[in-house]
Amino acid sequence: MDKLEDMASVCEFDPITGDIPATKVEITVSLCVLYTQGVESKQWREFGRTEVIDNTLNPDFVRKYILDYFFEEKQNLRFDIYDIDSKSPDLAKHDFLGQTFCTLGEIVGSPGSRLEKPLGGIPGKNCGTIILTAEELGNCRDCATMQFCANKLDKKDFFGRSDPFMVFYRSNEDGTFTICHKTEVVKNTLNPVWQPFTIPVRALCNGDYDRSIKVEVYDWDRDGSHDFIGEFTTSYRELSRGQSQFNVYEVVNPKKKLKKRRYINSGTVSSEFASLKSCTKSLFFTQIHFTVAIDFTASNGNPSQSTSLHYMNPYQMNAYAMALKAVGEIIQDYDSDKMFPALGFGAKLPPDGRVSHEFPLNGNVDNPYCNGMEGILEAYHESLKTVQLYGPTNFAPIINHVARYAAAVQDGSQYFVLLIITDGVISDMAQTKEAIVNIVLLAGGISSRGKLAERDIVQFVPFRDYMDRTGNHVLSMARLAKDVLAEIPDQLILYMKSRGIKPNQTPPDYSPPGLSPTPTV
């Protein structure tokens, strides 16, 4: 496995179902099953199952799925939810409650790496929603072994004492919490001593020494309506001290504290012992913006002839469309609104026949955005019907156009990618090199007027090397997309480091100035 900085890391995410209307669906025992899909066979294979949770319409699963994550690949996922009726492992013997489909990149690329999707699969029925969260695991492979006890917890049961258990939550980058461990239930006592348990440090805090850990204490009820006793917060650093006066926590019920003036706490929880080791983590949470620019020069050939790279074959996509779809379908998962500026260059435009090297494919100068890959392909095909292929092949205008918007974002919250699809030699090489160097975000080892660019983030990939003579375009385009996008994670990390932007920051949303904020290379 590569390191996290290579973005080919292990990714952990939690399936959490919720908001299932009680009037329509009755859940006794719920289970979430994850399926992954092969690139070549397209067959779904079961990857793993969560634990079974009973008596709740809003299960919060503890068990996580750990997957290898590759930025440059499209990793299709399917989540199926079941109502478990028996101990049989055969899913056909249980009630299907709904399913959803997405890609791993779609989860990672969502704001806060949190994706909420409706469950479907049952015609005419509202199946509820599922919330999927992702977090790249830290390099730490240590495990923490801990034991806790409590003293004088609140009595919640009318007959007998409480049946307490604890729930541990890891704090996320966006301020929310994700469940990471549940203790066993200790019956009929207000002074429980829970069994020691071992948990990966990366699951507890992802290697962040000071990340907040929230602990809730409940009284267990058979019907699933567990009574809340109270809560407290701690951290990896505090727990590492082991048994001491600093590891005795007041269990506080916020509602009781507001209502009762003399309320102090609902008991205390102490750490009996803890065996922990420190670790570090390096990760950036960045929104990626994607723009595409297409070559409309005459060297591509007449679009009405089959020899043209722009030939509009009614039965299959041309080379431009295949390349665009292969790359775009992967990178679109990292752009939350799925709206992409699509530009063209090297054509004569109606009505006066002027030559343009930066025109919107949809014809709207004020709003060049297209809705998803299908919107870009539609605008591309419409442009072929209205413009005249001409020349020359100038890159500089397109690069300068999109660079203006990238230059407005310096805090690391946004990263801009420009895909240029072209057929031939660059006509304005000197101007293109200067445009790249001036951006300062781009290239390396390229000099212009005595200036040297900081980094190499220009990637040239010859499309012809990926054409499959057998006609198996699925695999060949997957390889193309992988090679086109493979360097982006390293380029992103190098940019962040060169600007001194620290990992784990979540900068505020950015609304670029002007009418057409467009990504750059």
Q: What is the DSSP secondary-structure string of 37-50? A: E-TTT--EEEEEE-
What local confidence, expressed as pLDDT, does residue 85 receive?
Answer: 85
Predicted local confidence at residue 391, as pLDDT: 93
Three-state DSSP at 327 gives helix
pLDDT at 82: 94
pLDDT at 61 over 50: yes
In 19-137 the beta strands, taken as DSSP E runs, fall at 29-37, 44-49, 53-54, 65-68, 76-83, 95-103, 114-118, 129-136
For residues 169 and 216, the answer to whether their CB atoms sit within 8 Å is: yes
347, 293 Cβ separation under 8 angstroms: no
Residue that wins the pLDDT comparison between 33 and 477: 33
Q: Is 447 left (phi over 0), alpha (psi -120 to 50) or beta?
A: beta
Nearest C-alpha neighbor of 154 from the set 73, 266, 262: 266
Looking at residue 226, the DSSP 8-state letter turns out to be P
Averaged pLDDT, 418-444: 80
pLDDT mean over 62-81: 87
pLDDT of residue 17 exceeding 80, the answer is no
162 vs 142: CA distance, rounded Å: 34
For 37-46, what is the mean pLDDT? 82
* pLDDT at position 444 over 90: no
- pLDDT (mean) for 33-38: 91
Report pLDDT for 4: 25
Decide if pLDDT at 121 tops 50.
Answer: yes
Lowest mean pLDDT among 11-20, 108-117, 265-274, 477-486: 11-20
What's the confidence (pLDDT) of residue 500?
75
Say whether pLDDT at 482 is over 90.
no
Determine the distance from the C-alpha atom of residue 10 to the mean position of all C-alpha atoms in its chain, rounded to a whole number: 13
Burial 360-371 (b: 16+ CB within 10 A, else e): bbbeeeeebbbe
Cβ 18 vs Cβ 132: under 8 Å: no
Residue 70 scores a pLDDT above 50: yes
CA proximity to 216, closest of 161, 257, 169, 180: 169
Q: How far is CA 13 from CA 50, 136, 207, 215, 272, in A?
A: 12, 8, 16, 20, 30
Q: What is the DSSP letter of 105?
A: H
* Single-letter amino acid, residue 188: N
C-alpha atoms less than 13 angstroms from C-alpha of 188 in its C-beta half-sphere: 2
> What is the rounded distance in angstroms from the CA atom of residue 250 to the CA atom of residue 217?
11
Res. 466: pLDDT tops 60: yes
pLDDT given for residue 503 in this prediction: 56
pLDDT-derived band of residue 455, with 50, 70 and 90 as boundaries?
low
Tokens of 390: 């001409």
What pLDDT shows up at residue 285?
57
Asked if the model's pLDDT at residue 448 lies above 70, the reply is: no
What is the model's pLDDT at position 8? 32
What's this model's pTM, rounded to 2 decimal places?
0.57
Answer whether 148's CB lies under 8 Å from 26's CB. no
Which of the four pLDDT bands, split at 50, 70 and 90, describes residue 456?
low
Q: What integer is the mean pLDDT of 203-220? A: 87
Mean pLDDT of the chain: 80
Q: 126-140, 349-363, 471-485 — which is least confidently predicted? A: 471-485
* Residues ≥6 apart with Cβ < 8 Å to 448: 430, 433, 434, 436, 437, 438
Residue 86 has pLDDT above 80, yes or no: yes
Q: Between residues 141 and 61, which one has the greater pLDDT? A: 61
Residue 83's φ and ψ, nearest 5 degrees, are -95, 115
Work out the pLDDT band at 472, boundaries 50, 70, 90: low
Query: Cα separation of 325 and 40, whole Å?
Result: 17
Return the pLDDT at 471.
Answer: 63
Report cis status (omega within 30 of 0) of the bond before 351.
yes
210 against 140, higher pLDDT: 210
CA distances from 363 to 297, 349, 379 (A): 18, 10, 8
Residue with the larger pLDDT of the pair 434 and 80: 80
H or E stretch including 216? strand 212-219
pLDDT of residue 138: 62
Quick check: 228 pLDDT over 90?
Answer: yes
Res. 25: pLDDT tops 60: no
Whole-angstrom CA distances from 64 to 30, 33, 350, 445 are 15, 11, 56, 44
pLDDT for res 27: 39
347, two tokens:
């054509």
User: 132-141, 247-256, 427-436 — which is least confidently predicted?
Assistant: 132-141
pLDDT given for residue 141 in this prediction:
64
Q: Which residue has the higher pLDDT, 142 or 77?
A: 77
Residue that has been written with the tokens 């469940």 in this structure: 179
Look at strands 339-345 and 287-295 and give their pairing. Answer: parallel
For 143-173, what is each residue's pLDDT tens digit? 788 889 999 999 887 677 889 999 999 888 7
| 3-state DSSP assignment of residue 420 | strand
Whether 88 contacts 42, CB under 8 Å: no
How many Å apart are CA 478 and CA 68, to the nearest integer?
Answer: 17
Is pLDDT of 446 > 70? no
